[in-house]
Amino acid sequence: MDFGASRRGTDVGPSAMRVAGLGQELRRIGYKVLREVDIHVPAMETRDTKARKARFKAEILSVCVNLAVTVENSLKNGAIPVVIGGDHSIAMGTVAGVAGHYRNQDKSIGLIWFDAHGDMNIPSSSPSGNIHGMPLSHILGIGDEDLAGIGGFVGKVRPENVALVGIRDLDNRERKIIRDSGIHAYTMREIDERGMAVVAEEILKVVNKDTAGFHMSFDVDGCDPSVMPGSGTLVPGGISYREAHLLLEYCADSNRMTSMELVELNPLLDQANISAERAVRLVGSAFGKAIL
């Protein structure tokens, strides 16, 4: 899906990941890859949106509702959902599905949000009206009622179990929303000063405290543009290839990752699919691929 962004092309992300060998990578690590499920996304060419504050809300809502059901069913069947986007607005569906599954067992989940941006805008604060800049606020229950209500309940994760990591480009009003929200935010400065190993350990404590596990929402733009050129909202000064691997290796070691999604890969802006190939290796690390 690419309804959430202003630059077209993230809807081709899943194809690029398939071509780069995602399934093969997971099988090589020892996982059985079940049948892929394609979530239907309406075509954009024939649609227009009048909602300037939340562009393509109706379309995004319908995709997220279907995605939530698919993700929840996948967990119910004992599988591990790996969701490939798409722009980051799909996370409202993915997290609704994961949180809904554990909610049925009276459990809650943690959430790692790997990103250059906060994704914490709400329709009234967003300068662009692009919903891919708003999913995390709605997952926490702030903002538009319909988007916050995907999956039938509001507040998918407790703010104290959310770790936002890699941020370096925030909007003015978004800053206040983040500060007031109670989530844990790890900026690039924090990673520079303390090192990814220390930050990763702290993040895992945050997301694992009194939870059934955590979901990894991985926006490729959290990585430095030199690592991931194939994305629409590049911000220099990002997480290095090795730092990203290290965080994901720690996630794998913790044995607590319930699910993962990878978003904002835009093959139309990539260089010969190199971002997708690197993204496949990163997913490999998250699922326990070790160097030695």
Report, as residue numbers or ranges, the catalytic residues: 88, 115, 117, 119, 132, 219, 221, 264
The residue (of 26 and 177) whose beta carbon lies closer to Mn ion is 177
- We find the least distance from the C-beta atom of residue 44 to Mn ion, in angstroms, to be 19
**Of the candidate residues 25, 59, 72, 119, the single one contacting Mn ion (CB under 5 A):** 119
Q: Does 174 engage in binding with Mn ion (CB under 5 A)?
A: no
For the bound state, the minimum distance from the C-beta of residue 165 to Mn ion, rounded and expressed in Å, comes to: 12
Residue whose CB is less far from Mn ion, 137 or 212: 137
Which stretch, 5-13, 146-154, 211-219, 250-258, contacts Mn ion (CB under 5 A)? Answer: 211-219
Stretch that binds Mn ion, among 45-53, 82-90, 142-150, 239-247 (CB under 5 A): 82-90
Q: Which one-letter amino acid corresponds to residue 174?
A: E
Stretch that binds Mn ion, among 112-120, 123-131, 205-213, 235-243 (CB under 5 A): 112-120
CB of 219 to Mn ion, least distance (A): 4
Q: Which residue in the set 174, 219, 224, 270 belongs to the binding site for Mn ion (CB under 5 A)?
A: 219
Least distance from Mn ion to the Cβ atom of residue 271, Å: 21
Kindly determine how many residues on this chain lie close enough to bind Mn ion according to the rule CB under 5 A. Answer: 4
Find the farthest-apart pair of alpha carbons in the chain and give their distance in angstroms, rounded. Answer: 54
What does the binding site for Mn ion look like in residue numbers (CB under 5 A)? 88, 115, 119, 219
